[in-house]
Amino acid sequence: MGILFEILGLSGKTKVTYTGSSWKGDVQRTEADPSRLRKIGFMPKVGIEEGMRMFVRWYESEYGRIG
pLDDT tens profile 4-46: 778 877 666 667 777 778 888 888 888 889 899 999 999 999 9
- 34 is a domain residue: no
- 65 is a domain residue: yes
Terminal Cα-to-Cα distance of the chain (whole angstroms): 14
Q: Is the pLDDT of residue 56 over 70?
A: yes
Record the pTM: 0.59
Looking at per-residue pLDDT, the higher value among 52 and 6 belongs to: 52
- 36 is a domain residue: no
Q: Is the pLDDT of residue 67 over 90?
A: no
Split at pLDDT 50, 70, 90, the class of 47 is very high
HSE-up of residue 63 (Cα within 13 Å, Cβ side): 6
**In whole angstroms, what separates CA 1 from the centre of its chain?**
8
- 39 is a domain residue: no
Give the pLDDT confidence score for residue 14 in this predicted structure.
Answer: 67
Query: Considering its fold, how many domains does the chain have in total?
Result: 1
Question: Which residues form the domain of 63?
Answer: 1-14+46-67
